[in-house]
Amino acid sequence: MTRPLSPERWAFEITHLLNAVFGADRFPIDIPAVAREYTAQQFPDDPIISVQGDSLPGFDGALFKAPAGRKGWGIIYNNRISSKGRINFTLAHEFGHFLLHRAAYPNGFRCGEQDVVRWDSEYGQVEHQANVFAANFLMPLDDFRRQIPERDKVDLDMIAHCADRYRVSLIAATLRWLSYTQKRAVLGRVDEPAQGGFPRGG
């Protein structure tokens, strides 16, 4: 039996493919297009067929099974979210659920802040895995290191450049940098709530 891929490995596999097709300077990622095309190729009997915004009171995003009689899955993000960075992370997070968890959770997911903070629960760990996938997918470590080498002295303008490059929030870009830097970090206050290690905040 094939061992399931980790969140990091899924992100690496797709990153490698995108680099081969589009080259290294291909950011930000068009998540809806990648999710639909990749899953149509890899999972033709069970692909992602829809990515769209809708009213989701109390939730950032959702992954849901298509109605009876149709094959595939849909991703919905809360269209009241104004931050493009938060939307982007939400879409990548739900794509991660599709790749990692759809077999174990055939009814899909509705994801909001109340879910990702329950670290002691199985569901909290599942949410964390989707966040890890999203961070690695949106901000591949090799490319991030080219933008900010690990020994460089860093300021907020450099982090902001990465946030713009990957279309993520400042705090998501900061956390990604902190995951590999060898420098002590004092960047000043960022007024955004952390969610599950890699936030969807914008």
Give residue-wise pLDDT tens across range 125-167.
Answer: 999 999 999 999 999 999 999 999 988 888 999 999 999 999 9
pLDDT grade, residue 2 (50/70/90)? Answer: low
- For residue 117, pLDDT over 60 is answered with no
Helix, coil or strand: residue 51: strand
Question: Is 99 within a domain?
Answer: yes
Question: Is 12 within a domain?
Answer: yes
Question: Is 177 within a domain?
Answer: no
Question: Is 153 within a domain?
Answer: no
The whole-model pTM stands at 0.86
H/E stretch holding 130 reads helix 122-138
Cβ atoms 155, 187 nearer than 8 A: yes
pLDDT grade, residue 183 (50/70/90)? Answer: low
Question: Is 159 within a domain?
Answer: no
> What's the CA gap between 70 and 64, in Å, rounded?
12
Question: Is 150 within a domain?
Answer: no
- Which amino acid, one-letter code, is at 26? R
Question: Is 185 within a domain?
Answer: no
Q: What is the pLDDT of residue 113?
A: 56
- Min mean pLDDT across 54-58, 103-107, 150-154, 175-179 is at 150-154
Q: What is the pLDDT of residue 60?
A: 93
Q: What are phi and psi of 102, to 5 degrees?
A: -65, -30
Q: What is the pLDDT of residue 116?
A: 46
Question: Is 183 within a domain?
Answer: no
Instruction: Give the domain range for residue 68.
Output: 7-139
Q: What's the pLDDT tens digit per position in 66-114?
A: 987 889 999 999 999 999 999 999 999 999 999 999 999 998 988 875 5
Query: How many folded domains does the chain comprise?
Result: 1
pLDDT grade, residue 187 (50/70/90)? Answer: low
> What's the CA gap between 165 and 146, in Å, rounded?
12
Mean pLDDT, range 20-44, rounded to an integer: 96
